[in-house]
């Protein structure tokens, strides 16, 4: 059974259509990657899935439950679906530890002792336990992004959405962030990610989806999409990527 089901989703900003009858399914434990030119709607799709943006038509279901349209419990949705952005968005006035503890305390109302033990364990896991009492601006970009990922994990999401989480990082910091994603994939975390890191997409994805014209224009296993795309537009996109030295 599909865990995430996106059916005939439309999204427009004003008169501009961005998503046009988009269909996509993600099974539990899959890692699905969205690729496509800038402005094709990757971020918009991710933001629609966890309710940051309303859709204009169609529906999105998680475990069979509708998460779009009237009467949806947004808090319940965001408890299940974590999202990490390109620009980490840690709270600058809170310590690293408090950043990780905030949502489980406020949203889940869990006891502080338990939340702290789990938050410290998450920071240990990414090698940043020693930074727990520091503030985000004392961390490198890569370290901040790793904290942003464990902050999302602290909510024990069933689905993790990752939007270009390495784009703001210097090249030497990219691998430490991708390693976490690799580990999560190996543990069976269901993930939907938008990325320009084609090598990474090829390695980690169960399925790669090429977005174009507001739809999933072509999808398939990474080997097929990256070595033998069927559609001319996918081929043209990948050709540009290769010419830019990014594959
Ligand atoms: N809040 C908004 N208001 C109006 N238009 C928007 C808004 N957000 C995005 N758009 C438009 O929607 C389209 C899709 O944007 P989106 O950010 O989803 O693209 P993307 O595939 O994530 O691009 P990139 O690879 O550059 O991150 C673009 O044309 C963009 O200008
Ligand atoms: Mg984007």
94-137, pLDDT tens digit by residue?
999 999 999 999 999 999 999 999 999 999 999 999 999 999 99
Q: Is 40 in the pocket of ligand 1 (CB under 6 A)?
A: yes
CATH label of the domain that carries residue 59: 3.40.50.300
Distance (Å) from CA 49 to ligand 1 centroid: 15
Note the pLDDT tens digit of each residue in 198-229. 989 999 999 999 999 999 999 999 999 999 99
Question: What domain range includes position 181?
Answer: 4-89+159-243
Quick one: average pLDDT of 71-82?
92
Q: Please indicate, yes or no, if residue 108 is contained in any of the structural domains.
A: no
Predicted TM-score (pTM) of this structure? 0.95
Q: Please indicate, yes or no, if residue 11 is contained in any of the structural domains.
A: yes
Q: Please indicate, yes or no, if residue 116 is contained in any of the structural domains.
A: no
- Ligand at shortest distance from the CA of 20: 1
37-58 burial string, b = 16+ CB within 10 Å, else e? beebbbbbbbbbbbbebebeeb
Among the atoms of ligand 1, which is closest to the Cα of residue 86? 27
Contact yes or no for 59/66 (Cβ under 8 A): yes
Q: What percent of the chain has pLDDT over 70?
A: 99
Q: Is 15 in the pocket of ligand 1 (CB under 6 A)?
A: no
Residue 1: the pLDDT is 73
Residue 173 parent element (H or E): helix 171-187
Quick one: average pLDDT of 38-60?
96
Contact yes or no for 238/69 (Cβ under 8 A): no
Q: Is 160 in the pocket of ligand 1 (CB under 6 A)?
A: no
Q: Is 42 in the pocket of ligand 1 (CB under 6 A)?
A: yes
């Amino acid at each position: 059974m599909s865990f995430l089901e996106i059916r005939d989703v439309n999204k427009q900003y004003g008169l501009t259509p961005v998503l046009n009858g988009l269909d996509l399914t993600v099974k539990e434990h899959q890692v699905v990657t969205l690729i496509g030119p800038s402005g094709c709607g990757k971020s918009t799709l991710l933001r629609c899935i966890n309710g940051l943006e309303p859709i204009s038509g169609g529906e999105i279901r998680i475990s069979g439950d509708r998460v779009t349209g009237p009467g949806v419990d947004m808090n319940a949705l965001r408890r299940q679906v974590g999202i990490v952005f390109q620009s980490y968005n840690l709270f600058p006035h809170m310590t690293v530890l408090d950043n990780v503890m905030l949502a489980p305390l406020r949203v889940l109302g869990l006891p502080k002792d338990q939340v702290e033990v789990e938050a410290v364990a998450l920071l240990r896991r990414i090698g940043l336990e020693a930074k727990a009492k520091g503030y985000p601006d004392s961390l490198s970009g890569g370290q901040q992004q790793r904290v942003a990922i464990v902050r999302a994990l602290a909510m024990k999401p069933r689905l993790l959405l990752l939007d270009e989480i390495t784009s703001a990082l210097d090249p030497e910091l990219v691998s430490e962030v991708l390693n976490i994603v690799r580990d999560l994939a190996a543990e069976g975390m269901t993930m939907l990610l938008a990325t320009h890191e084609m090598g990474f997409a090829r390695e980690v994805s169960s399925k790669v989806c090429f977005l174009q014209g507001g739809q999933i224009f072509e999808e398939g296993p990474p080997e097929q999409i990256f070595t033998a795309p069927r559609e001319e537009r996918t081929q043209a996109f990948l050709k540009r990527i290769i010419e830019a030295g990014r594959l």
